[in-house]
């Protein structure tokens, strides 16, 4: 016996409802660095640091504060993780208010070992300003820059670098003499645990 068109619509609606209910159950018991999203007929796990109430999380930090902009960088790191890249994000802020450059790791996507978050954000900021020097600008980066990125930051004469998690093996601070421009201010540890957590979750899954 053939099913009527109306019956098929009801079945589709019932399947979609069950998927939504399953998604809601998963979200309720998921740690704050993981989230699940329905894609087609399957549930795909993607890495997110944010709590499920992302908007409320952003609003708890004062506007234009270091933590506020670091959250923006974390959001880009999250995007990198979704694309299978090492989750590192960076933003360049001019005059303490306007984001003029964004970047996240794209070494796999572009098959380019220099496509680090910092390099991409630097290029975007320079293009926005129409010049290579980033004086009166701050870069917020979720992980301490490597020596390559620190060298580029040094040449840019950027005024300030703010990073979250320390890189104890390949971070620029592990090497002497100092690579950065002498006048560049460095601030560390902003939302360090959050920055480290998204990296930890990404590599734990890679080892499975």
Q: Which residues are catalytic?
A: 118
- In the chain, how long is the greatest CA-to-CA distance? 81
23: tokens are 């998604």
The angle that helices 192-206 and 66-82 make with each other, rounded to 10 degrees, is 10
Q: Are 105 and 86 in contact (CB under 8 A)?
A: yes
Q: Are 121 and 90 in contact (CB under 8 A)?
A: yes
H-type helices in 29-92, by residue range?
54-59, 66-82
Q: Which residues pair with 187 in a beta bridge?
A: 162
Q: Are 116 and 85 in contact (CB under 8 A)?
A: no
The angle that helices 66-82 and 117-129 make with each other, rounded to 10 degrees, is 120
| Cα 131 to Cα 105: distance, rounded to the nearest angstrom | 23
């Amino acid at each position: 016996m053939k099913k009527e068109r109306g019956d098929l619509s009801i079945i589709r609606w019932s399947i979609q409802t069950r998927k939504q209910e399953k998604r809601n159950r998963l979200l309720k018991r998921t740690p704050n660095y993981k989230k699940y999203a329905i894609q087609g007929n399957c549930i795909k796990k993607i890495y997110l640091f944010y709590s499920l109430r992302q908007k409320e999380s952003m609003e708890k930090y004062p506007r234009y504060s270091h933590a506020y902009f670091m959250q923006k960088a974390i959001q880009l790191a999250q995007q990198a993780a979704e694309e299978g890249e090492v989750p590192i994000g960076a933003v360049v802020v001019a005059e303490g208010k306007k984001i003029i450059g964004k970047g996240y790791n794209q070494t796999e996507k572009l098959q380019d070992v220099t496509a680090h978050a910092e390099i991409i954000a630097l290029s975007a900021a320079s293009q926005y300003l129409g010049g290579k020097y980033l004086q009166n600008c701050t870069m917020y980066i979720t992980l301490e820059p490597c020596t390559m990125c620190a060298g580029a930051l040094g040449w840019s004469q950027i005024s300030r670098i703010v990073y979250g998690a320390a890189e104890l093996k390949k971070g620029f601070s592990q090497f002497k003499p100092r690579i950065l421009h002498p006048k560049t201010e460095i601030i560390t540890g902003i939302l360090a645990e959050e920055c480290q957590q998204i990296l930890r979750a990404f590599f734990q899954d890679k080892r499975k």
